[in-house]
Amino acid sequence: MQLYNTLSADERAELIDKAGKQRLTLSFYAYAKIEDPKAFRDALFIAWNPLEVLGRIYVATEGINAQLSLPADHFYEFKSLIEEFDFMRGIRLNVAVEHDDFSFLKLTIKVRNKIVADGLNDDTFDVTNKGIHLKAAEFNKLLEDPNTILVDMRNHYESEIGHFKGAITPDVETFRESLPIIEKQLEAHKEDKNVLMYCTGGIRCEKASAFFKHKGFKNVYQLEGGIIEYTRQINEQKIPSKFIGKNFVFDHRLGERITEDIISRCHQCGAPCDDHTNCANDGCHLLFIQCDSCKQKMENCCSPECFEMIHLPLAEQIKLRKGQQVGNKIFRKGKSPALKFKSSGILIDTPLAKAEKKKDKIIKAAIKKVIVGKGQHYYTKSKVGMFLMEEGEIYTGDTLLIYGPTTGKQEVEIVNMRVNGALAEKAVAGDKVTLQLPFRLRMSDKVYKRL
């Protein structure tokens, strides 16, 4: 029986594109005693795979933590499936603020020691003695109390692009780091202050609030459902947002906009920007903030060294990485001497700029185009992309529009092209076309001819 993925991310993206279904991105968690996490994991995979569920799910003896996407028309069937388990009956599903059909490209369900790495020994305190949950309106009201201390339970790369005004934003890379730091920082206020905490979807606060109550803090509160549920409630109830900027998310989107305010800078040039990217060098994959201008200039790289690396022959890149812990084995979280404008710790609450309204749908509707092919390969050293002509015809001087989940939306004019290896001015269905491209072309990319 198949209990693993057999398709690559590019192949999965192509299937999603062909299916043409709207997908929902959502998350949920539940603390519960699971006797056999491995059997539970396999049962979920068997049930969810036919529903085209994709995502990253962790299960442990203490419960489940899930971030995933699925076709919108499978939502209620999926909900019924998870509610077959008693501990997930009536569970809140945090539906994303912004949806992206390509937020996840494979189904990964892993058995872990814990569903959130907190570094705590749960046997030493009552993990069910949690803080008081607050809805959005209650949360905003408590923020107005001068005796309230607001704490962001997320990491530096999350809070940098968006946070609640006035929050303490620890300069940490992991959740487990934040707990002793915050405890020490608030030591003098165990009895006289309201400790109000928040995170992305609520799961980190579930454990943190119990931990702080165990440590003697008397008045502990947490934002119910985290930033995601807060945003849903303020939008529905027309409540002013106390959150400013973007909410970082752990999928291909890397963020969803809550307000139009930009409160962070491009880590390379300092321009107002809150778009994260992962370094294109497979030996780095550093997570950092990069504006469109630097993205084009540096080809998604974080440093000149990585820029040079991606232009070496693939065999040489692999040789240089040999014996190092690189690529998908690590997740370097936005700290490097190469990033001149990185900020963390004490962050600003004053907007640096306003985000432009999303134009993706407008562009698709406004630009007249016809599909002609799909991506095949990209030769990094020569910066040449190859795509297969599937229909129609193109000529030198035509403008191509290339769309893809990772590539984004690119436009290029055909100055010179090779058709089946030879210089030519025309290509038709069945031809393989190569041309210079200032960006990487991927198998999941669609190639259009602008009319």
Active site residues: 199
Tell me the C-alpha distance between 170 and 153, whole Å: 8
Contact 258, 97 (CB under 8 A): yes
426-428 vs 219-223, strand pairing mode:
unpaired
Burial class (CB in 10 A: 0-12, 13-18, 19+), 173: middle
Tell me the C-alpha distance between 45 and 56, whole Å: 11
Rounded alpha-carbon distances, angstroms, from residue 157 to 137, 161, 370? 27, 7, 40
Tell me the C-alpha distance between 443 and 200, whole Å: 32
The vertex-389 CA angle with 388 and 390, nearest 5°, equals 105
- Per DSSP, 358 falls in state P
109: Cα within 13 Å, side-chain hemisphere:
21
Burial class (CB in 10 A: 0-12, 13-18, 19+), 31: buried
Contact 302, 288 (CB under 8 A): yes
**Tokens matching residue 186:** 């608030």
Length of the chain: 451
